[in-house]
Amino acid sequence: MDTASPIIALGKPPGKEGFRRTYSSASIKVRQVEVGPSSFQKIKLLGRGDVGKVYLVREKKSSKLYAMKVLSKKEMIERKKIKRALAEQEILATANHPFIVTLYHSFQSEDFLYFCMEYCMGGEFFRALQNKPGKCLKEDEARFYAAEVVAALEYLHLIGCVYRDLKPENILLHQSGHIMLSDFDLAKQHSSAGGRPAGISRADPSGPPMVDTRTCISDFRTNSFVGTEEYIAPEVINNKGHTAAVDWWTLGILIYEMIFATTPFKSNNRLNTFTNVLNADPWFHPNAPVSPACKDIIFRLLDKHEATRLGSRSGASEVKNHKWFSKIHWALLRNQTPPIVPSTSNGVDAVNFRMMRDSRSLDLENQVITAVAGRSAPGTPGLNEPDGMELVKRDGSQEDLFQGFSSITLLHDGES
């Protein structure tokens, strides 16, 4: 079934005509990779992680701007991050939703893996929050972004994926101001396609159809200890295994942080933060400028018992039906003007990203693409070994370690 609106305008800020992108289960065409490192001109460093960096690049042939994530094979081997990189590619290559960052190419050289993705000129949502007065949003503004996050999580759950690392740093702003989830290295894909979504009754008969997304991942449970300290759910800390309900917990943390400029359980060290997560309730100042419905959804999302947490029974539909979202027109989210419309200038100056110096500059011109015998298209089983295991071959060769990485070009219907 198609899980998103069939055709949605994208590409330019409100008030300007953009290209029309098709979102459906059959709108992605997969080809053998048509580019390599030397196809791109590096412009500047946008961000860095523990095993790689993200660069703003321009494709020489088309002059289009992209964000290129470059992961060091050496660092991935040393830090045991190979499986995460392969899983991230699997998810990005199959996901097709307006609120999830788009992958266009993936390929590898002898030393690196490359993800060529949509360049979100608005930068990190975290930085946008830091630039707001008080470093926070008004309740109506927070509701808008929370709704877009819910739509993205709903889609991920429908395709059998649990995100597990929602936080402002992993949310990017498209040049139109709408959000895009990024960084799927901690996401977990269901070992099978998952169950079929079930229809449920609608609170508003005139509203959009509601589906029970929980049925798509009803038997999903993993024991990994992953996440970001201030966003980790109680069941993860207790090491009792967790389900897709962790995504709804992190949504509660995000809503609180958007409105109050801090997370509800933050303390002076990790141990005290975890103690608060397990034992404390979110605190609201008596004069906090938020509605009772806002407080209610935060409390229900931050239910320490995952079985009774909002979203644990019927998934995203349960969250969307909460009274705090009663003003949201879910089918029209993408057509509304966001509270923050980024200043994009010419795009190349990357005004919405932090200034970073690249101490060890990557030379794209001298990186030669390697053809590795792997699966020809995403979606093939084999990336669902128990957490903590790496795909290590008998001879220990580096090339074998990355043979599951697909070198592909993805064409999206409706894009020029």
Would you write out the chain's pLDDT as a tens digit for each of its 416 residues?
344 443 334 444 433 434 456 666 556 788 888 899 999 999 999 988 888 999 999 999 999 999 999 999 999 999 999 999 999 999 999 999 999 999 999 999 999 999 999 999 999 999 999 999 999 999 999 999 999 999 999 999 999 999 999 999 999 999 999 999 999 989 988 765 555 554 545 555 555 555 555 545 555 555 565 668 999 999 999 988 888 999 999 999 999 999 999 999 999 999 999 999 999 999 998 888 899 999 999 999 999 999 999 999 989 999 999 999 999 999 999 999 999 998 866 667 666 777 666 555 566 666 766 754 343 344 433 333 334 334 444 455 545 789 889 899 998 876 75
Phi, psi of 115 (to 5 degrees): -120, 115
Phi, psi of 133 (to 5 degrees): -55, 130
Architecture of domain 7-121+346-412: 2-Layer Sandwich (3.30)
Give the separation between CA 363 and CA 19, rounded to whole angstroms.
Answer: 32
- Looking at residue 65, its pLDDT comes to 95
- Looking at residue 204, its pLDDT comes to 56
Give the separation between CA 304 and CA 223, rounded to whole angstroms.
Answer: 17
Give the separation between CA 302 and CA 320, rounded to whole angstroms.
Answer: 16
| Candidate CATH numbers 3.40.50.300, 3.30.70.270, 1.10.510.10, 3.90.230.10; the one for domain 131-335 | 1.10.510.10
DSSP assignment, residue 413? T
DSSP alpha helix (H) spans, 287-394: 292-301, 316-320
- Looking at residue 412, its pLDDT comes to 84
Q: Can you give 21-65 as a three-state secondary structure string?
A: EECCCCCEEEEECCCCHHHEEEEEEEEECCCEEEEEEEECCCCCE
Phi-psi domain of 311 (left: phi exceeds 0; alpha: psi -120 through 50; beta: other):
left
Nearest of 140, 321, 136, 162 to residue 250 by alpha carbon: 162
- Looking at residue 7, its pLDDT comes to 37
Q: What is the pTM of this model?
A: 0.82
Nearest of 165, 182, 200, 215 to residue 97 by alpha carbon: 182
Torsion of CA 147, 290, 311, 316, to 10 degrees: -10
- Looking at residue 163, its pLDDT comes to 95
The domains spanning 7-121+346-412 and 131-335 adopt the same CATH topology: no
Residue 165 bears catalytic tag: yes
- Looking at residue 277, its pLDDT comes to 97
For residue range 34-79, what is the model confidence (pLDDT) as tens digits? Answer: 899 999 999 999 988 888 999 999 999 999 999 999 999 999 999 9
Nearest of 19, 5, 2 to residue 414 by alpha carbon: 19
- Considering the candidates 2, 111, 165, 358, report the single residue annotated as catalytic: 165
- Looking at residue 389, its pLDDT comes to 36
Give the separation between CA 392 and CA 344, rounded to whole angstroms.
Answer: 43
Nearest of 232, 158, 187 to residue 84 by alpha carbon: 187
**In the chain, what are the domain boundaries?**
7-121+346-412, 131-335
